[in-house]
A and B are shown apart, each in its own frame.
Chain A
Amino acid sequence: MTEPGPRPRRGPLVVAAGVLVAASAAVAYLVAAWWSIVPLAAVLGGLAGIGLRWYLAPVVGFLSGFAGWAVPLLLLPAEPRTKLADVLGAAEGLSGPFFLWLGPLLIGLLGLLAGCALFCALRLVRPPTAREASTPA
C-alpha cells in the first residue's frame, strides 16, 4: 500500500484563478483589445489543468474567456445594449440575445482551445508523476 503523499496546495491556485478572471475582464475592458483575453484564458486553463484536474483546462479556459468578454458587456446600459443587439442581430439573421452573447461564446471557445493547448504543452514539459498518473481522472 502506498503511503499518502503531501496534499497538493490548491488554495493559492484558486485565488490566482479568481484574480486572473477579474484581470482578464479588466484588461479586455481597459486595453480594449480582445486578443488580450486569450493568453490570459490559456494561462488560467493551463494552470488549472496542471495544478488541479485535467478537465479544468478547457472549462476554466472557456469560462475565463467568456467572462472576460461578458463582464464589460454587462456593464453597458441595459436598454441600448438590448436594442443594439436586436438591430445588429437582425442584420445577421440572429436573435438579439444570441448576437449579444456571440462574442463571449467565441472568445470563450478560443479560451477553451488556448487553455487546452497550454495544458498539453505543460504536460510535455512536465509529464505526470507516477502518483498523478495512477490517480483516476
Chain B
Amino acid sequence: MSVALLVGASVVLQGSLALLAPGTGVWTDAATASWGNETIVLPALEHPVTVIRDGSGTVHIYAQDDPDLFYAQGYTQASDRLFQMEVESLSAQGNLSSWLGPSALASDEMYRYLGVPQAAAAMAAGVAAEDPSVAQDMNAYVAGVNAYIDWAEAHHALSLAFKVLGVQPYRWSLFASFCFDRLMVIGQTTGFTEPLYAAVEAAGVGDAAFNQLFPIYPQYSQNFTVLPGNGTDNGNSLADEGISASDLFSLDWFGSWATGLSDALNASLVPLYRDAIANLSDPYLADLSPSSGVGSNSWVVAANHSSTGTPLLANDPHLPIMLPSLWVSTQLVSPDFDVEGWSLAGLLGVLIGHNDQLAWGLTNSEGATALDYVETLQGDSYLQNGTWHPLSWTNESIRVAGRAPVAFDLAWTDNGPIVARVGDYGLSVRWAGTGATWEAIAELDFDRAQSIPQFFQALADDWSIPNLNAVVAQSNASDPAGHIAWVVPARFPLVAETLPDGQHVDVIGSRGPLNGSGGYEPVGTVPFDQLPQVEDPAQGYLFAPNQPTVGPEYAYPFIGSWWDSGGRAHTIGVYLQNHTTMSMASMEGLQANVTDSWSLALAPSLLQTLEALAPASPLAQAAVPYLEAFNGSFDVGSVAATIYTYWWNALVTATYDAPVSALGISGAPSAFPSAYAWLAANDPDSSWFPGGFAHASTLAALAALDLLAAHLGIGPTPSAPNLSGWTWGRVHTFVLPSLTGVSSLAAGPYPEWGDSYTPSVAPFTDNSTFPLQEVAIGSSLRFVTEPGLGPSVGVLPGGASEDPASAYYDDLLPLWLDHQYVSMTIVPTSAGPFPEGVVSTWTLQP
C-alpha cells in the first residue's frame, strides 16, 4: 500500500469521524432540533421579547417596540433558517462558488451580470437616508441574525447543512438582506430573457408563424382579464388617443419600426441572443426562462359575493418548492405592528398576510419591467445617438472554493450591464434593479396599513419592481363588508413608439431586443394612478393568476408581456362567476381544483382522432371510453389525463419543440394547448402542422398509445387492452429537493394531481420523458383568509425548520399534499397569553 494511499485513507477517516463526532459533527443537529422553553439573554434588546411557537411552527413574536421586534425576528429566523438565508443571499451576491466550488460559477456570473452586488451595496448605503426608521428596523434585524450566529458558532449548533458542506456562516448585513431581496425580484421579473427567446424563435420560424402561436394579445381564447372590461382604466383608453387596439395588436412588433433592428440584423444577432440567454441562466435558484412554470394564483371576493358577510382572499404563489420551505409563517406584534402571514427568510416584515384591518396577496403580473438592448460597440466604446461613448466598467471577482478567484470586468452602457458580446454587438439589460429600489420600505409600510388607500400609498411611494399583482381586502367590526381592490404596482418603463401609420404611443416592453444606440430608451414610467387597478368592482370579485391584466384598450399597451395561457384564470373566473356565496371552505376547494380548462378545449380533437383509429387499433378503441368520460379533471386516478397528456406531449414535441430545439436554445416558451385548440378549429393547415392538424393528431395519438403501452402495460389480452392502470399519479409525481442538494434530505416522490393549467398547479416543463419530469414547482404556500381578525388558514409544503432532525422540518407536507390547512388566525394581544397549542416559549431578555 503506498504512503499516499495511507495518507488519503487517513484523511478520509479523519473527515468522516469529524463529521460524525457527537460534540461538533452532524449529531449536534439532534441536540438543537427541539424547541423548548428558554430564557435567552440578548443584551442588545431594550425590553423583554416573548417568542411563541405554536403546533404548526408559526412563530409569534411579541415585543414592546419595533427594533426589538425585528431583532427578535432576525434571531428566530436565523435559528430556524440560517443556512437557507446564507446560501440564498450568497447566491445573489454572486459568490456561491465560495461554498460550492466552480460548479456555481455560471450562477454567480449571472447575478454579477445583472448588477446585484452594486445595487445591494447602494441600498445598504442609502436606506438610512431614504427612511431612517426602516433603516433602524433593518439594522436591528441584522443584529438579531448575527446574535444567533455568535451563539450557534460558540455552541457548535450550526445547522446540518453547514457541517455537510464544511462551510462557516458569514456575518449577516444589510447588504446580505438586499441581495436576497434582489434574488426574489429577479425570479419574478419579466423582460430579461423573453425578448431574446422571441427573437431567436422568430428568426428561426418566421415572425408570422411565431406570432400565430404567441400573439401579443392572445386572440385564441376568451381573456379573463384581471381588470373587468375592455381595459379602460381610470377613464383612460387607447381609443381616447385615436388608436385602434385591434390594429395595434395585429402589427408585427418585431419590425424595424418597433425595435430599430432590421430582420436581417436580428437574424445575424442570433448567436448574441443565445449567449445572452445562456449567461442569464441560474441553474440553482432563479429560472429566468419563459418555460420555468413559475406563476401564482390569487383571488378576492367582496362581501356581497361571500357567505360570511365579509370579503375573502386566497393566494398561492407558484415557485420552486424545496426543503426548507421558502416562506416562514410569522406573527409580529408590537404597539404599532400586528401582522400575521408569510415572511421570507432573510428579510424582515411579512410579505403576504393579514393585519387587523387588511389581507393581501401577490402574484406575477407578467408585464415587462426589464428591457433588452442591442449595443453597437467599437473596442471599449458604445454608440449612442450618433456619438461614441466610453464603456464604464466594474471589476468582478468571484471567490471559488479550492481555487483562485475568478475575475472579470463587466462593461456598462447607459442602458445597463452588457451581459453578452459577440464581435461589435453587445446585449445590455436595462432594469431598475441595477440601482436602489425600496420595496423593503413598502413592505413594512403595507404591513402597517389600516386601509386600502394606505396600502396603495405604500406601493405608490416605494414599489418599483418586480411586476406583481397585489390583491387586497379590507374589513373590520364597524365595516364588516369592507372593500376589495387590486393594483399592479410596478413602475413599468415606457418606450415611445411610432406606429407604421405615423401615430405615437407609449408602450410597456418590447417584442424583441431594442436598438440601444438611441431612440428606444425609456421615456418615463406609467404613473401610479394609471397603472392597472380597480377597487370594489361591480362583479364582486377579482382574480389575478398571471393572465392578461387588462383588456386591449388599456392606454399603455403591454407589448413585452408573456401572459400565462389563462387556463387557471378560466377555471377560477368561471367558478367565481357561478358561485356568489363563497365561503372559507369553497375558497379552499377552489385552491384544490384540478380542472384543466384547456384539456376540455382540446380533448375533443383527441377523441375524434381515437374514434377514427379505433376500428384498426384495439388500444385506441380501449382509450375512447376514457376520453368520452373525461371532464378535464387531473386527479391522480385519472386515466384520461394520462392519455391526453401524452398525446399533447407527442403533438407539441413533433410540431413545436422539434423545430425550436433545432434553434439551439433551451427553456423556450411552451406552446399553449389553447393556441393549438384555436389553430385546430380555425387554421388546421397552419405551417405548424405539416400535413394538417388531423394528420399530426393521428401520429401523436399512435405515438402516445404505443409509449404508454410499452411502459404501463395493457394487461394479458392484447386484443382487449386493459388501460385501467394508466393512472395520472403513476406518471406524474412530485418531489421536494433539499436546498443542500443531498438527495436523502429530499421528500417524495409522491403521486401528484394537476398540471400546468389547473388551479392546484403541478407543472412539468420537459415533455420528452417517461415518466414525466418530476414536478418541483407548485404552491409554495396556500393562504385563505378574511381580512382583519376573522378566520384565516394556511399551509406550507414543508415546515418551519431547516433542520432535518426537527419535527418541524416537513410536518406540514402531509397537510399540503391533502389540501388541508392550519390556522393563521390572528390572536389579538388583548386576549392575553397565547391561548393554545404552544410548543415553545422563548423569553428574550435584555
* A interface, CB within 8 angstroms of B: 28-35, 69, 72-73, 76-77, 79-81, 83-84, 87-91, 102-103, 106-107
Contacts and interface: CB of A to CB of B under 8 A. Distances in A.
Contacts of A106: 13, 16-17, 20
A32 B17 CA distance: 11
A103 B25 CA distance: 11
A32 B806 CA distance: 22
Interface stretch (B336-344, B586-594, B739-747): B739-747
Nearest to A84: B805
Contacts of B18: 34
Given A30-B23, A72-B22, A72-B23, A91 B743 contact: yes
Interface string B799-842: 00001111100000000000000000000000000000000000
Contacts of A89: 744
Nearest to A31: B23
29 contacts: A29-B23, A30-B23, A32-B21, A33-B23, A35-B14, A69-B22, A73-B22, A73-B27, A76-B22, A77-B30, A77-B31, A77-B33, A77-B34, A79-B807, A80-B805, A80-B806, A81-B27, A81-B30, A83-B30, A84-B27, A84-B30, A88-B26, A88-B744, A90-B744, A103-B25, A103-B27, A106-B13, A106-B17, A107-B17
Nearest to B809: A83
Question: What is the interface of chain B mostly: helix, strand, loop, or mixed?
Answer: loop
A80 B743 CA distance: 19
Contacts of B666: none
B156 interface: yes
B29 interface: yes
Contacts of B742: 91
Interface string B18-53: 101111111101110110000000000000000000
Nearest to B17: A34
A57 B359 CA distance: 71
**A-B complex: 7 closest residue pairs judged by Cβ atoms:** A32-B23, A80-B33, A91-B744, A72-B22, A80-B805, A103-B20, A90-B744
B30 A76 contact: yes
Contacts of B29: 80, 84
Nearest to B156: A32
A137 B378 CA distance: 90
Contacts of B806: 80
Contact of B744 (A34, A79, A87): A87
Question: What is the interface of chain A mostly: helix, strand, loop, or mixed?
Answer: helix
A90 B746 CA distance: 11
Nearest to B13: A106
B726 to A, nearest CB: 31
A62 to B, nearest CB: 15
Given A76-B30, A88-B26, A83 B805 contact: yes
A76 to B, nearest CB: 5
Nearest to A87: B804
Interface residues of B, number: 29
Given A83-B804, A84-B29, A84-B804, 9 more contacts: A29-B22, A32-B21, A34-B21, A72-B27, A80-B803, A84-B30, A84-B160, A87-B745, A102-B20
Given A87-B804, A91-B743, A80 B21 contact: no
B33 A84 contact: yes
B745 A91 contact: yes
Nearest to A74: B22
B37 to A, nearest CB: 15
Max chain A Cβ within 10 angstroms of own Cβ: one of B20, B26, B156:
B20
Contacts of A102: 20
Nearest to A72: B22
A119 B24 CA distance: 31
B192 to A, nearest CB: 36
Max chain A Cβ within 10 angstroms of own Cβ: one of B18, B23, B742, B804:
B23
A28 B23 contact: yes
A80 B28 CA distance: 10
Contacts of A77: 30-31, 33-34
Contacts of B34: 77, 79-80
B112 to A, nearest CB: 32
Interface in B719-766: 742-745
Max chain A Cβ within 10 angstroms of own Cβ: one of B30, B743, B804:
B30
A28 B21 CA distance: 8
A73 B745 CA distance: 21
A75 B803 CA distance: 19
A84 B26 contact: yes
Contacts of B26: 84, 88
A109 B537 CA distance: 75
Contact of B805 (A28, A31, A87): A87
A89 B804 CA distance: 12
A22 B550 CA distance: 74
B15 to A, nearest CB: 11
Contacts of A34: 17-18, 20-21
Max chain B Cβ within 10 angstroms of own Cβ: one of A35, A72, A87, A89:
A87
Contacts of A88: 26, 744, 804
A102 B13 CA distance: 12
Contacts of B20: 34, 102-103, 106
Contacts of A30: 23
Contacts of B23: 28-33, 72
Nearest to B745: A87
Contacts of B25: 103
Contacts of B27: 72-73, 76, 81, 84, 103
A32 B745 CA distance: 26
A103 B30 contact: no
Contacts of B33: 77, 80, 83-84
Nearest to A79: B807
A36 to B, nearest CB: 10
B267 to A, nearest CB: 50
Contact of A28 (B13, B14, B22): B22
Contacts of B804: 83-84, 87-88
Nearest to A78: B30
Contacts of B744: 87-91
A83 B807 CA distance: 9
Max chain B Cβ within 10 angstroms of own Cβ: one of A30, A83, A90:
A83
A28 to B, nearest CB: 6
A65 to B, nearest CB: 11
B805 A103 contact: no
Contacts of A73: 22, 27
Contacts of A79: 34, 807
A102 B33 CA distance: 21
A89 B160 CA distance: 14
Max chain A Cβ within 10 angstroms of own Cβ: one of B18, B742, B805, B807:
B805
A101 to B, nearest CB: 10
A90 B31 CA distance: 20
Contacts of B16: 106
B316 to A, nearest CB: 28
Nearest to B29: A84
A33 B803 CA distance: 23
Nearest to A38: B17
Contacts of A31: 23
A66 B14 CA distance: 16
Nearest to B26: A88
A33 B34 CA distance: 24
